[in-house]
Amino acid sequence: MFTGIIEEIGVIKSIRSGVRSAVLEISASKVLTATQIGDSISVNGVCLTVTTLGSTFFTADAMPETLKRSNLGELRSGSPVNLERALRLGDRFGGHIVSGHIDGTGTIVNMKEDENAIWISIAADASLLRYVIDKGSIAIDGVSLTVVRVEENQFNVSVIPHTRKETILCDKTPGSKVNLECDVVAKYIERFSGFGKQELNEAKKDISMNFLKENGYF
């Protein structure tokens, strides 16, 4: 579990690519403190497991599904990445609940300066936008942000100077792909609601004239 508050910007040191998977070697410093093999680190919002540790780097495996759903497959040696260690009990919770399980990707369509902030417009599929609401939370490349406005095919966020400085988000350009994780609460609500409807529909299907006759209603 993560908060979406980025701890440092790491750099891809090397990528060992398989047929559909990859091993990422990432240069870092802060996130290595107290980290052990098997711990989770969010890389551009994707929860990855530390497989080896060095004094200035760690490695992690990226499965085919991870590369398919995220922008990690586009990384190259030298690419900067947002890094965050998993939340510990007792830590301050400054962002929102982020699982590190990416729902999909969006595409930056516009970036506009607004005094000390920058507006970013991101296009996304309807399957993702259904979970995005005004003033709700969303994780973009692992960064916890507040949605300012939702439109038909895109949504907008405003990035403050501190976030701009501490993450790679504003170094991107229109056309860049970003990882999106929608608010987990919205997904659970939809799932629970769907279960109720499904059970009701199944019950209706089971009720027939033969069923009523067999049970003494006729």
Pick the CATH number of 8-85 from 3.40.630.20, 2.60.40.10, 2.40.30.20, 3.40.50.300: 2.40.30.20
CATH number of the 104-187 domain: 2.40.30.20
pLDDT band at 126 (very low <50, low <70, confident <90, very high): very high
Mapped onto helix, strand or coil, the DSSP state of residue 46 is: strand
CB 32 within 8 A of CB 52: no
CB 132 within 8 A of CB 106: no
pLDDT above 60 (res 192): yes
Angle value at C-alpha 165, between 162 and 170, nearest 5 degrees: 110
pLDDT above 60 (res 218): no
- The string of pLDDT tens digits covering residues 6-62 is 999 999 999 999 889 999 999 999 999 999 999 999 999 999 999 999 999 999 999
- Please give the Cα distance from 1 to 5 (Å, whole number): 12
- The answer to whether the 8-85 and 104-187 domains have the same CATH topology is yes
CB 112 within 8 A of CB 118: yes
- The string of pLDDT tens digits covering residues 76-101 is 999 999 999 999 877 778 889 899 99
User: What pTM value is reported for the model?
Assistant: 0.86
Q: How many residues comprise the chain?
A: 218
Please provide the average confidence, as pLDDT, over all residues in the chain.
Answer: 90
- Residue type (1 letter), 50: V
